[in-house]
Structure 1
């Protein structure tokens, strides 16, 4: 089912409220987590860790995407595909179709989605991206519904967990933490004579804070001028890109920033016209026209997130004892059209990364 937005959230709440009286399902508790099961079809099935799960059980899985962009869409698709695969293997159903929503980068919408998912008594919530994860965490502090986040760049600084090995009482997940220095190593390998670098990001995005601090430290260590431009909307990001082009910076860096990601298709040609390569913290930026995206494979990240959900719901794992997973992020994705337009030879990257992936400008991954 296609992702639903707020109006669908409210409509779904009304429908489920009316339909609840005729339900044939009861609830049982597994390792502190409420699990929805069909009492008439319950039987034992072997799980991946040797424990027994209820064959025919149905688990209600809430998926909350922060905003539409290529990376987050890729994560959601991978989560759903893996849940379908594991459900078939284990003889259970992960019902996400009725509980999948998109917050459209609006905190009011995200809070109302959280309220509806709690009212629906879902068995787990999977928020995708930091702002969604923070709101879902707040909504589950009292009820302790498990939260398994995906694509949170710095879960500790965001206050989601005490540390990667010490998750919160009901929260864990996967991180797309960025190796900022590695991005700049690529930048200076391609052009050792860089004198000024623009930093383009949304100052309200928690995911941007740490890599921007790391970027400043790296550049100051090289004696390179730093030009910061920020924005919180597409129009502001577009204006910030114009300002960086006017400033004549030699390159631009953006971390894993969802606001800039949603604006990339509208700004990448500005940088090409100005002869400025845009180095970024996710492969989706390159798909949307930026010269380079560096980071994790988001399909793998989504799959790993779904596997953690299965361990918690089916295998009875405790979120508080499940370490946050940080995937290797040594993949450089280069937009070959942009590279050609800028005249950049990126062959040097092959010895500096786990892999170099080539892409061309499009809206979504195929």
Structure 2
């Protein structure tokens, strides 16, 4: 449901008074430096590229942090359903409505929001490479009106590839992703660098829509020892198609997010998206309270990396779970 904030008469009068007092020689206060009175309501525009479990968990974590803060918040929640033109429209509408803060849940959502405003505070999450996506100048000093949390743990790719090689005996790794997603290309580039160091080979297949995911997976499954799916919005949305092909061919499917285990992945080195979203929510609280500007809050990678194995899938593809793997087991 779309909620539209109606500014109170008091707020409008106060704003007019401030502008009149400042005159033409002073800039008006930006949203990030003008906290509201305790009983006033904030509107947060939530923009998400599409529906899938990991992004939804990040949104839940974000809202939980705002709830814990005690702030009076209304959400205008919009989902682009994978359509980048809709993504731009959502961002434009939020700017037109003069929301107090934009919560951008995914790389393309954050990029669209930043392209429309350099004044309204933007807090992102579910972003692999905030610097590479040109959202922040650096993780330590974001600059501008944007900060947030990445869901890419710096050790996740290295640990995943090492496990594939040393414990599963893999030599050739297959992956399916949407080459049009910057988020995905950043992960694939990192994978290639580390594969070269380990002497592994990567077989790639591209899928620009969810309808192409199964066929893309089928095109490489007989050429690989393991399938590795990164946090690609297109592929994760059609994840069951990849699971079906992998299981039929008795190929271990390793995901980059632990939420995909419930959907049939064999294993994952990943993070808790609820935690990542919650940390982004804590940043939003500081901004809305006037404690900090986005430029003063360092963008953060996830703190914890989990290794989880789906026992049912392991049994299906005939992989024995070894105690020395020290994995959490999903029954």
Interval of TM-score (by shorter of Structure 1 and Structure 2) = 0.7 to 0.9
TM score, norm. by length of structure 2:
0.88
Deviations, residues 23-42 of structure 1 (Å, cap 9, x unaligned): 445156897326899xxxxx
Name the structure 2 match of 1:242.
Answer: 218
Distance 1:60 1:276 in 2: 47
Deviations, residues 250-275 of structure 1 (Å, cap 9, x unaligned): 00112221111101022202101111
Note the C-alpha offset of 1:207.
1.4
Contact 1:25 1:36 in 2 (8 A): no
Contact 1:186 1:349 in 2 (8 A): no
Aligned residues: 316
The counterpart of 2:285, out of the listed 297, 310, 326, is 310
Name the structure 1 match of 2:193.
Answer: 217
Distance 1:188 1:68 in 2: 33
The counterpart of 1:26, out of the listed 3, 6, 11, is 11
Note the C-alpha offset of 1:283.
1.1
Distance 1:35 1:124 in 2: 12
Contact 1:36 1:123 in 2 (8 A): no
Name the structure 2 match of 1:46.
Answer: none
Name the structure 2 match of 1:48.
Answer: none
Note the C-alpha offset of 1:349.
6.2
Question: 1:93/1:349 Cα in 2 relative to 1: closer, same or farther (>3 Å)?
Answer: farther
Distance 2:157 2:189 in 1: 10
Match of 1:155, SS state, is coil
Distance 2:33 2:132 in 1: 31
Name the structure 2 match of 1:132.
Answer: 109
Q: Which runs of 5+ in 1 are unaligned?
A: 38-52, 361-366
Contact 1:31 1:317 in 2 (8 A): no
Name the structure 1 match of 2:72.
Answer: 93
Distance 1:256 1:207 in 2: 8
TM score, norm. by length of structure 1:
0.80
Name the structure 2 match of 1:50.
Answer: none
Name the structure 2 match of 1:357.
Answer: 328
Name the structure 2 match of 1:109.
Answer: 86
Note the C-alpha offset of 1:123.
0.6
Q: Aligned pair 1:197/2:173, yes or no?
A: yes
Match of 1:57, SS state, is coil
Deviations, residues 298-355 of structure 1 (Å, cap 9, x unaligned): 111111111000001114311111100111242023222111111223335644xxxx
The counterpart of 1:266, out of the listed 233, 241, 252, is 241
Question: 1:322/1:349 Cα in 2 relative to 1: closer, same or farther (>3 Å)?
Answer: farther
The counterpart of 1:336, out of the listed 273, 298, 311, is 311
CA RMSD after TM alignment: 2.4
Q: Aligned pair 1:284/2:282, yes or no?
A: no
Note the C-alpha offset of 1:293.
2.2
Note the C-alpha offset of 1:222.
3.3
Q: Which runs of 5+ in 2 are unaligned?
A: 16-27
Aligned 1:167-182 pairs, distance under 5 A: 167-178=142-153, 179-182=156-159
Q: Aligned pair 1:301/2:276, yes or no?
A: yes
Name the structure 2 match of 1:60.
Answer: 43
Note the C-alpha offset of 1:211.
2.3
Note the C-alpha offset of 1:59.
1.1
Contact 1:36 1:60 in 2 (8 A): no
